[in-house]
């Protein structure tokens, strides 16, 4: 374990006892949560800090005294624990000079992005979830498909994953479900949304499911795209073309509103996995998952159903992001990744 850490992560372990230990295999990236690891470590002494970096298979613990960290090394090195998936893993410990982790810069939500919490009541949530009939067959007017990593259903217009667009001349009969009407009216009146949507995609994600990172085709939909999270919270990743990723918690019953830069320039996607890395102290409140490694843990995903509302665009897009705008480019960009196209063939 010592050599692997050194080689891949640039972590220097030392052969003498210090207050701090690297706990290999005891990381969020290994499905070991803070709630699980901390009590194990605390049996050996007072823990001053436990740093759990996102997606890494190790963590770093600092005890208040060297005696305590020595005790942890003697009792826990080579010890078996059970991870959050019920699998046995063996911890390997090594002393390090300092428990530290290079913090990423301060993060902010992508410009134009908002998460409005508690936008609907639990009763409305139940009603909306019960209104989705997943058993209808595909002859039905409202197109439904099982993609590789989720189930989808379209209303108003069918979204074609092969060309990432809608057939504007062929609206689906029936429009949006009646049940959405009063909810959308309320949001318009309250100023949460600016346009009345005419297209709805319902996605259902089991734990382990996801959606590839994508930008909704500019020429297909107007600026404002909103998504209602039902049934369970999830972390959605927003990526800037420069490579910066901002993970954002979408709580159950919240509305994600993407406008401007966040709608046109940043991709959004959900990584297919069973656990999300979340802020330990915040509960499941919305917003950025920061890189505060002293405050991260794992959250088991549940079944999430999202209602994504959009307004079909009738004129070419003239946004300020021509490099990613299919209306302003000679060749159409491939905005939805191959994996979804394949799943539909």
User: Which residues are at the interface with ligand AKG (CB under 6 A)?
Assistant: 201, 203, 211, 216, 227, 268, 306, 308
Given the complex with ligand AKG, which of 62 and 268 has the nearer CB atom? 268
Q: How far is the CB of 146 from ligand AKG (least distance, A)?
A: 14
Alpha helices, DSSP H only, in 98-177? 122-131
Q: How far is the CB of 86 from ligand AKG (least distance, A)?
A: 28
Q: How far is the CB of 222 from ligand AKG (least distance, A)?
A: 14
Given the complex with ligand AKG, which of 59 and 203 has the nearer CB atom? 203
CB atoms within 10 A of CB 141: 11
Q: How far is the CB of 174 from ligand AKG (least distance, A)?
A: 19
Is residue 26 helix, strand or coil? coil
What whole-number distance in Å separates Cα of residue 73 and Cα of residue 116? 46
Given the complex with ligand AKG, which of 33 and 201 has the nearer CB atom? 201
What whole-number distance in Å separates Cα of residue 109 and Cα of residue 287? 7
CA distances from 79 to 21, 82, 85, 304 (A): 15, 10, 18, 36
Alpha helices, DSSP H only, in 103-248? 122-131, 178-190
Given the complex with ligand AKG, which of 203 and 259 has the nearer CB atom? 203
- Asked whether 132 and 305 are in contact (CB, 8 A), the reply is yes
Given the complex with ligand AKG, which of 201 and 262 has the nearer CB atom? 201
Given the complex with ligand AKG, which of 83 and 216 has the nearer CB atom? 216
Q: How far is the CB of 251 from ligand AKG (least distance, A)?
A: 12
What whole-number distance in Å separates Cα of residue 263 and Cα of residue 280? 29
- Both structure tokens of 272: 């297919």
Q: How far is the CB of 159 from ligand AKG (least distance, A)?
A: 7
Q: How far is the CB of 129 from ligand AKG (least distance, A)?
A: 14
What whole-number distance in Å separates Cα of residue 52 and Cα of residue 67? 22
CB atoms within 10 A of CB 337: 16
Given the complex with ligand AKG, which of 74 and 162 has the nearer CB atom? 162
- Of 250, 240, 259, which Cα lies nearest the Cα of 310? 259
What is the separation of C-alpha 277 from the centre of its chain, rounded to a whole number of angstroms? 9
The single-letter DSSP state of residue 149 is T
CA distances from 75 to 51, 78, 80, 96 (A): 20, 8, 11, 17
Q: How far is the CB of 304 from ligand AKG (least distance, A)?
A: 7
Given the complex with ligand AKG, which of 142 and 203 has the nearer CB atom? 203
- Both structure tokens of 306: 């999202």
């Amino acid at each position: 374990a010592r050599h692997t850490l050194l080689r891949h992560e640039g972590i220097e372990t030392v052969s003498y006892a210090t207050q701090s230990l690297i706990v290999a295999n005891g990381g969020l990236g290994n499905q070991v949560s803070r709630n699980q690891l901390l009590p194990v470590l605390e049996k050996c002494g007072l823990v001053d800090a436990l740093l759990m970096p996102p997606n890494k298979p190790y963590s770093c613990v600092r005890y208040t005294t060297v005696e305590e960290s020595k005790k942890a090394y003697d009792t826990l090195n080579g010890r078996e624990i059970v991870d959050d998936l019920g699998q046995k893993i063996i911890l390997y410990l090594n002393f390090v000079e300092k428990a530290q982790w290079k913090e990423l810069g301060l993060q902010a939500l992508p410009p134009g992005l908002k998460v409005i919490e508690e936008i609907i009541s639990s009763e409305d949530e139940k009603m909306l979830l019960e209104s989705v009939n997943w058993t209808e067959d595909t002859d039905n007017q409202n197109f439904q498909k099982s993609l590789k990593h989720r189930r989808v259903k379209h209303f108003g217009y069918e979204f074609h994953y092969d060309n990432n667009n809608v057939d504007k001349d062929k609206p689906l009969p029936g429009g949006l479900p009646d049940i959405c009407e009063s909810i959308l009216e309320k949001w318009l009146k309250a100023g949460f949304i600016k346009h009345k949507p005419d297209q709805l995609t319902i996605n259902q994600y089991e734990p382990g499911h996801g959606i590839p990172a994508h930008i909704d085709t500019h020429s297909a939909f107007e600026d404002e795209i909103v998504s209602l999270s039902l049934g369970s919270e999830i972390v959605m990743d927003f990526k800037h073309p420069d490579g910066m990723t901002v993970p954002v918690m979408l709580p159950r019953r919240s509305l994600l509103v993407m406008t401007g830069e966040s709608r046109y320039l940043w991709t959004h996607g959900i990584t297919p996995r069973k656990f999300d890395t979340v802020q330990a102290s915040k509960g499941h409140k919305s917003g950025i998952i920061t890189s505060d490694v002293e405050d991260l843990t794992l959250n088991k995903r549940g079944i999430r159903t999202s209602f994504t509302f959009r307004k079909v665009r009738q004129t070419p897009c003239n946004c300020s992001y021509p490099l990613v705008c299919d209306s302003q480019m000679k060749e159409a960009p491939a905005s939805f990744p191959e994996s979804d196209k394949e799943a539909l063939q």
